[in-house]
Structure 1
Amino acid sequence: MKKQIIILVIILVSTKGFSQDVNVFFNKTNTFFETYVSNGKVAYSKVYENQEGLNELLNLAEAISVSKNDAKNYQAFWINAYNLSVIKGIIENYPTNSPLDNAGFFDKTKYSLAGKNITLNDIEHKLLRAQFNDARFHFVLVCGAVGCPPLINKAYLPDTLDAQLETQTKKAINGDFLRVNTKKKRVQASQIMEWYKGDFTMKGESEIDFINKYRTEKLEGKYKLSYFPYDWKLNKQ
């Protein structure tokens, strides 16, 4: 009985510590984004001048443990960790005009996060897309370029994550992610939809079906879909 009580106490203490660590990370991430992000753009020059806050966040993230069994915590953590790591990657190469100007930005440079030594591509493709099959991730993972959906000035949080995913997807589909010509029945989409077509056509849906799920002004009739070039210029203020 004593052993069982001791084990239970250890579990409760460790769980409380985990919860506190994750909450501290989310709170500090929220403050960071509120400070340095505005209208979807990042004040990289200000972050570069004062890197302490960003480094503190990534140090916190290194020690956190998350499990995909706790899906909302897991997803919120990795979305924030991705967006912070992109900013870190830009700062490490600052000044720069584009993330693509830096070799291996997405597939070679590694970050120590949640006990893993991991690249940005690993976070996006292995830890999020492959595990949850949710196309909405494409509207919250921000790669440091103008062509990305805008970075919000708040952290993604477990309790509000689904609403945040919905909001950002709707903003994109009703915004710059699409260029619609109703007279000619043509729609151009960001190349994100071309690169990840499988994510937008799950369960037998077409890309137009996905668009109409979130678009206020539906694309009625047969629209011809094409894609416009991705803008890789840095999303700086």
Structure 2
Amino acid sequence: MKKILTILFFISLTISATSKGNDNFYNEANMFLHTHVKNGLVDYESISKEPSQLNKLIGMIENAQVEQSNSLDYQAFYINAYNLYVIKGIVDDKLSSPLDKKGFFDSIKHKVAGESLTLNDIENKKLRAAFHDARFHFVLVCGALGCPPLINQSYRPATLEKQLEQQTINALNDDHFIQIKKNRVAVSQIFEWYQEDFTASGKSILEFISKYRKQALPENAKLSFYTYNWKVNKQ
């Protein structure tokens, strides 16, 4: 019995340490984003001049411990990791667009919680494939003006559901993101590239959008996709 209690004690210490470590990461990420993000745009210049805070966060991402069974912590961690690695990639190579760096999304590897992953791996394998939540597309920010805006706070397990919902509402009520002229509704190519995510419930893209709209879409709306703006989202 004493041996069992000892084992359980050390397990609880490990879980507590892991949780505390992730809390520290979310706190540090929150301070970094609050300092360098305004109105969805990133001050890459100031980060480039003083990258120590970002580099500290990358070190925390590299050595973090996350478990899919703790789904809220897992999702929050990988969303933040994606957004921060995008910022680092743009800062390191002084990019005018993430597409200026070959393989930015699909071949350049990053250390994430002990694994070697591309940005696409984080998005598609760690998040989309595991949780099937279309709202990820409004919180994963690819460093371009065509993306929904980056918020100036970290995603946290305790607030993740509220943050996912709010960022989706914000995007789908943004006149720049959802462009309406008479009965024509032009939407981001995100909806074209990831159509299966938005229609997974058997509803159309327009029905998905309508669910989050404060003002109804036009009757008999016709859907189109406008060209994605890959220019970097800098201040």
TM-score norm. by structure 2 comes to 0.98
Tell me if 1:89 matches 2:110. no
Partner of 1:35: 35
Q: What amino acid does structure 2 have at the position aligned with 1:38? A: K
Measure, in 2, the Cα distance between the counterparts of 1:70 and 1:220.
41
Q: Residues 1-237 of structure 1 correspond to what in structure 2 (within 5 A)?
A: 1-94=1-94, 96-175=95-174, 176-181=176-181, 183=182, 185-237=183-235
Measure, in 2, the Cα distance between the counterparts of 1:30 and 1:54.
11
Measure, in 2, the Cα distance between the counterparts of 1:6 and 1:87.
43
What secondary structure does 2:201 align onto?
helix
Measure, in 1, the Cα distance between the counterparts of 2:80 and 2:201.
28
Give the number of aligned pairs.
234
Measure, in 2, the Cα distance between the counterparts of 1:143 and 1:219.
27
What secondary structure does 1:218 align onto?
coil
Closer, same or farther: CA 180–220 of 1 in aligned 2, 3 Å: closer
1:193-222: per-residue Cα shift (whole Å, max 9, x none)?
Answer: 010011110111101110110011112421
Q: What amino acid does structure 2 have at the position aligned with 1:211? A: I
What secondary structure does 1:202 align onto?
coil
Measure, in 2, the Cα distance between the counterparts of 1:155 and 1:106.
21
Measure, in 2, the Cα distance between the counterparts of 1:122 and 1:166.
23
Measure, in 1, the Cα distance between the counterparts of 2:187 and 2:132.
20
Measure, in 2, the Cα distance between the counterparts of 1:230 and 1:220.
23
Measure, in 2, the Cα distance between the counterparts of 1:188 and 1:211.
12
Deviation at 1:35, TM superposition (A): 0.6
What secondary structure does 2:233 align onto?
coil
Deviation at 1:90, TM superposition (A): 0.7
Long gaps (5+) in structure 2: none
Deviation at 1:2, TM superposition (A): 2.4
Deviation at 1:160, TM superposition (A): 0.7
Identity of aligned residues (%): 51
What secondary structure does 2:209 align onto?
helix
Q: What amino acid does structure 2 have at the position aligned with 1:15? A: I
Long gaps (5+) in structure 1: none
What secondary structure does 1:13 align onto?
helix
Q: Which runs of 4+ in 1 moved over 3 A?
A: none
1:142-200: per-residue Cα shift (whole Å, max 9, x none)?
Answer: 0000000000000011111111111111111110221012x3x1100000001001111
Over aligned residue pairs, what C-alpha RMSD do you find?
0.8
Deviation at 1:63, TM superposition (A): 1.5
TM-score norm. by structure 1 comes to 0.97
Measure, in 1, the Cα distance between the counterparts of 2:166 and 2:201.
22
